[in-house]
Amino acid sequence: MHFQPFSIKLKSKSTITKNELDELISLNKNYYYPWFLAGNFYYERKEFELALSYFSKAIKLEIPQESTSNEIRELIENCRRNL
């Protein structure tokens, strides 16, 4: 299984289940991207507490681009403001 089908499904706002998010993360728990995708999924649905938990995990992992780290930090702050 690859990240791309999940990414497409999340961007299209298709219905995705908690089990599918868990499956996505289980592909590589030490890679920031699935945590970031899951955080975005909940953020877009205004479920800020759940989004915050996923973004918080993502930011602790190695992120290859500083711009992505900055984006995640900004999303974390936005989540906190909306709690």
What's the rounded Cα separation, in Å, for the pair 69 and 72? 5
**Each residue of 31-70: pLDDT tens digit?**
999 999 899 989 999 999 999 999 999 999 999 999 999 9
Domain range summary for the chain, segments of one domain joined by +: 3-82
Residue of 1 and 78 predicted with greater confidence: 78
| Superfamily (CATH H level) for 3-82 | Tetratricopeptide repeat domain (1.25.40.10)
Task: Lowest mean pLDDT of 9-13, 35-39, 74-78, name the range.
Answer: 9-13
Instruction: Provide the pLDDT for residue 60.
Output: 98
Average pLDDT value over all residues in the chain: 87
pLDDT at 21: 85
Q: Which amino acid is at 14?
A: S
The pLDDT of residue 18 is 81
